[in-house]
Amino acid sequence: MSATIIDGKAFAADIRSRVAEQVAALKTDHGITPGLAVVLVGSDAASEVYVRSKGRMTVEVGMESFEHRLPEETSEADLLALIAQLNADPAVHGILVQLPLPGHMNSDAVINAIDPTKDVDGFHISNVGLLGTGQKAMVPCTPLGCLMMLREHLGDMSGKEAIVIGRSNIVGKPMAHLLLGESCTVSIAHSRTKDIADVVRRADIVVAAVGRPKMIKGDWIKPGATVIDVGINRVEAEGGKTRLVGDVDFDAAREVAGAITPVPGGVGPMTIACLLANTLTAACRANGLPEPEGLTV
Ligand SMILES: Nc1nc(=O)c2c([nH]1)NC[C@@H]1CN(c3ccc(C(=O)N[C@@H](CCC(=O)O)C(=O)O)cc3)C=[N+]21
C-alpha cells in the first residue's frame, strides 16, 4: 500500500485564495488593508530567499508588505526602537522578526517587545500562555499549517495517539498543545527519548520536527499512520548540487503510512499561507471585526 501524498502546495494556494477574498472584502466594506512588516537582521542567504517569497505572496493576496532590512551589526536598542515604531503604526497589523537573530541579541527580549496582538508568529510569551491555556491566541504558523492539514485529512482526531518528535518552542511545543486541543493522546519525543522507534510505532499521527535529515525510518511508522514532516534540510546531491529533504525517510515511510507530506511542497508552503492568515486575523481583531472563518484554530 502506498500512502496518500498530502499536497501542502495546493492546500496553501487554496488558503491564500481564501485570504485574498477576505482581504478584498475588508477593503471594500471597511477601507482596511492588512499590512505585514517583516524585519530581517543580517544577510543569511536562506533567510533572504524566504523573506522575498513572503513579501511576494503578501502582495499577491492584496496586503501591504513592509520590509525592513537591517545590517548584521545593528544594536539591540535600534531593533527595539524599530519594533516600537511598528507597534505604534496603525497600517501594520502583523510583525515578524526573522529568526535566528545575530548572536549579540537577546531573541526573547526582542520577541517579547512585539505587541502580542501583532505577533503573527505567535512567539510572544502572552500568545504562548494563551495557547497553553486554551484561550484565543496568535498560533505559530508552522504548527497551525500542520493542524490544518491534519484536520483536512483526518477530520475528528479525538482519542488518537499523536507523537511530536522535537521539543522546540516554535514547532514541537505549540504543536503538542494544538493536538491536545483536538483531544489526541499526545507524547513529545526528543533526543533523550529511550526506544524512540517503539514510541513512534504506537502513533496514529506523527509530526516530525527535529531538523535531522531522514532520521525517522520507514519501519518506525505504524501502518496507516498520518505523517507530517516539518523538516527542511538542505543536503548535498549529485554534481555538487543541493536538495531539500525532510526529517522522515520519505521513500520508505510512504510504503507504510496512510498519508504523508512531501518535502518540499508540504509544510513549508503552509507556513507562509498561515502567516498571511494570521495577518488577516490580526487586522480583523484590531478593528473589532469578526474573525475570518476556517483560517484560525
Ligand atoms: N520569525 C520567523 N518565522 C518563521 O516562520 C521562520 C523564521 N523566522 N525563520 C526561518 C524559518 C524557515 N521558514 C520557512 C517557511 C517556508 C518554507 C517553504 O516554503 N519551503 C518550501 C521550499 C523552498 C525552497 O525550495 O527552498 C517547501 O518546503 O516546499 C521554508 C522555510 C519560516 N521560518
Query: Ligand 1 center to residue 268 CA distance, Å?
Result: 6
Question: How far away, in angstroms, is 50 Cα from ligand 1 center?
Answer: 6
Closest by Cα among 137, 150, 220, 136 to 8: 150
Residues whose CB is less than 8 angstroms from the CB of residue 150 and which lie 6 or more positions away in sequence, other chains included: 157, 182, 205, 226, 228
196 labelled as ligand-binding? no
CA 180-138-290 angle, to 5 degrees, is 105
- What pLDDT does residue 101 have? 96
ipTM above 0.90, yes or no: yes
Residues 6+ apart with CB under 8 A from 172: 164, 165, 166, 188, 190, 209
Q: Whose CA is nearest to atom 3 of ligand 1?
A: 98
Active site residues: 54, 98, 121
C-alpha cell at 149: 492539514
Q: Whose CA is nearest to atom 20 of ligand 1?
A: 268
User: 285 C-alpha to center of ligand 1: Å?
Assistant: 26
Least confident piece of the model among 43-52, 119-128, 265-274: 43-52
53 belongs to an annotated ligand binding site: no
Please give the C-alpha separations between residue 253 and each of 53, 184, 246, 261, 276, in angstroms, as whole numbers: 30, 22, 11, 10, 31
Strand boundaries in the chain, DSSP class E? 4-5, 35-41, 64-70, 94-97, 161-165, 185-189, 205-208, 226-229, 233-236, 242-245, 259-260
- Indicate the CATH number for domain 32-115: 3.40.50.10860
**d(C-alpha 221, C-alpha 112), whole Å:** 38
Locate CATH 3.40.50.720 in the chain: 141-268
CATH number of 141-268: 3.40.50.720
Determine the atom of ligand 1 nearest the C-alpha atom of 100. Answer: 9
The closest residue, in CA terms, to atom 11 on ligand 1 is: 99
* Residue 239 marked as a ligand binder: no
pLDDT at 36: 98
If pLDDT is split at 50, 70 and 90, which confidence band does 27 have? very high
Q: Locate CATH 3.40.50.10860 in the chain.
A: 32-115
Work out which ligand 1 atom sits closest to the CA atom of 47: 10
Hey, whose CA ends up nearest to atom 18 of ligand 1? 268
- Rounded average pLDDT over 222-227: 98
Nearest to 281 by CA among 22, 96, 88, 98: 22
Was 201 annotated as part of a binding site? no
Write the residue with the smallest CA distance to atom 4 of ligand 1: 98
Atom of ligand 1 nearest to the CA of 267: 28
Ligand 1 — pocket residues by CB below 6 A?
A: 50, 96-99, 121, 141, 232, 244, 263-265, 268-269, 271-272
Write down the pLDDT at residue 6.
98
The pTM for the full model equals 0.97
30 alpha carbon – ligand 1 mean position (Å): 32
Q: How far is the CA of 38 from the centre of ligand 1 (A)?
A: 13
Query: What is the widest separation between alpha-carbon atoms in the chain?
Result: 57
Return the sign of the alpha-carbon dihedral for residues 284, 286, 290, 295: positive
Provide the percentage of residues in the chain whose pLDDT is more than 90: 96
33 vs 199: CA distance, rounded Å? 47
49 confidence band (pLDDT: 50, 70, 90)? confident
- Looking at the CA of residue 269, tell me the nearest atom of ligand 1: 19
